Copies of this chain bind each other. A is one copy, B any other.
Amino acid sequence: MMPDGQPPTACVLIIGNEILSGRTQDTNLGYIGQRCDALGIRLTEARVISDDETAIITHLNECRARFTYVFTTGGIGPTHDDITSATVAKAFGVALCRNADAVAALERYYEPGMLNEARLRMANVPAGARLIDNPVSGAPGFQLQNVFVLPGVPLIMQAMFEGIVDRLAGGPEILTASVTTDVLEGAMAKELGVIQDQFPDVSIGSYPWFRHGALGVNLVLRGTAAGRITTARGAIENMIARLGGHVLRVAERNGE
């Protein structure tokens, strides 16, 4: 929890033209979102921006002032289009420096003679940054104040995210449950709204699905009190029975 008693918040900045063009499908947001739930951090926003210095500086400075944590993904490789590290330094108004520990990590990863100047660029981090270990491919990320700079390749990002978990102050875990039914949204919307009003501390989302010619709805409950989620789930299952429908599947993640 934060000193003011509010749960911490987070924003993800996805940096990369390839996501905006549709060439690459981002999966990092979903991963970070699930981890934030478990850590009790409210991930309430994400932005996808291009590899553009002005865009990165503007959004980073706006978001780091508004959120407890900002996670960036992408743009920390060795090529000309990898401008995240240098641009984060500019956004903070600090110098970009070659970091000795980062150089050592690269030296451990690369075969002798392979660590050329382009690869050494990946050891340049903003002054004052704390490195984030990369157990997969050597080149580290870094943390500067409340900003965590991570790579875009999902498997590497995920491995590095686990290395920063102990630097994050969390809150109560956000628990979820879901009920899948063949009752359609329009048929239950009124009654579902009444249940939502009865459980203001449980966020109930309604998501229609279309599969193999069948239609239905996935109802997702989110909150921090396991008992309240279970009770609200019971109310939803009763509603489905009253409407003559079926509960096709129930899932609950109660933090155990």
Contacts and interface: CB of A to CB of B under 8 A. Distances in A.
A135 interface: no
A256 interface: no
Copies of this chain in its oligomeric complex: 2
A21 B48 CA distance: 16
Nearest to A28: B22
A118 interface: yes
A55 interface: yes
Interface size class of A (residues with CB under 8 A): 35 or more
B20 A44 contact: yes
Given A20-B33, A34-B22, A46-B48, A186 B118 contact: yes
A54 to B, nearest CB: 11
Contacts of A50: 44-45
A6 interface: no
Contact of A222 (B17, B78, B119, B205): B17
B186 A220 contact: no
A75 to B, nearest CB: 10
Interface in A213-256: 220, 222
Contacts of A27: 25
A186 B119 contact: yes
A45 B48 contact: yes
- Report whether over half of chain A's contact residues are helix, strand or loop; otherwise say mixed: mixed
A155 B210 contact: yes
A233 to B, nearest CB: 16
Interface in A29-65: 29-34, 37, 43-52, 55
A196 to B, nearest CB: 5
A81 interface: yes
A93 to B, nearest CB: 24
Contact of A153 (B82, B190, B205, B210): B210
Nearest to A21: B33
Contact of A29 (B22, B114, B116, B193): B22
Interface string A186-213: 1111101100100000011111101000
A79 interface: yes
Interface string A96-122: 000000000000000000101111010
Nearest to A116: B186
